[in-house]
Structure 1
């Protein structure tokens, strides 16, 4: 059997490849791509039996795979991978779509592949994907999953006070659980939270929840004090925009 892995993170692709090679002897050919368009091209060329698809990548959602194929062309099974979205998991389960929750584990991958193999040729994958797409549109769950060493912590948007860049990590400050260090760069959260109007980026190193601003101090160039007493600087070119956002929120 053939498999294609589509994920923007190289480490994630490499890990999944290793887990498949070690636990799924049914799959003897594996190719991978780091974006949805490249993945689509690879699917057309490689004709896989199973596609492992990251649900959220820069520029594209995995659901947009439907935009590149007709229903008749989707003859392969799809196993989605996700690391942050609880409502995505609910949607997968609701629509009988196989998924893998990052960080990946041997038994999880093995089980998903066995399930996918039993479904090949027996069900209309395109119909389930269409229903999944509609479920996402209707979803109002507002939580984000934070990958940590022993799994994923799901946090409501309103619980997040601020996010601070820490090289290739991000420190997420919450009301209920304090600070959580996540092995994802700030860019990941900027992409994930771009549709959430309450989050604003006053400085390249910070993303703040406007609902948790406590005070603006017009000293030392100007800075923000959040509800957790942490201070956040404002870039010079963001000051006018910041006040416009505050007044409109």
Structure 2
């Protein structure tokens, strides 16, 4: 774990370094900075997990830290250190983990660090859970459930040529030209595949797989040729979106 101390007083830096060293912490590196801007540079280069930040410093106050750095881009936990009680409210508005009054009490220091470490671990676990959820969501869209009258067929998106609305049902045409009548409206598949950029709805009755598009024909009414044989119309209201998608994805 990396720790940074930002304080304009050398004596305060040394004392805090000693107090941290006396604790049973696994500290890989402990950095010091004499002012806020110097500390910001270290944060950007070294990415410390915990920053001890003095408030009363020349030029810039420690309370101005968020004017100079984005906590989302450079996540770290702030523990303010100061000789002045009156800054406590402002400090906690900046989402500080704790607020230590100088001279710093060793027990209060240990409590503050443990609090910061607990939050860091919670954030790490939350991030892992979010990553796992995203991975599961990606797996979910890898196969599509097609509810047919006799059961459910599972198909990869790449196996599907296009969907065609049929009232409250949908015809699904697979790449081997098999046609299945599905007990779901077209809207269901439009929503399910909304994050897949290769599925596009050129017309209110169709959702197509652009991977099988072989030609865009601008005559006799605009239409798309799928798999060299299938003509899919493009409605006037969707033509601009379609040409924009072509430029973004293929051109």
TM-score of the two chains, using structure 2 as the length reference: 0.45
The structure with the largest alpha-carbon Rg is 2
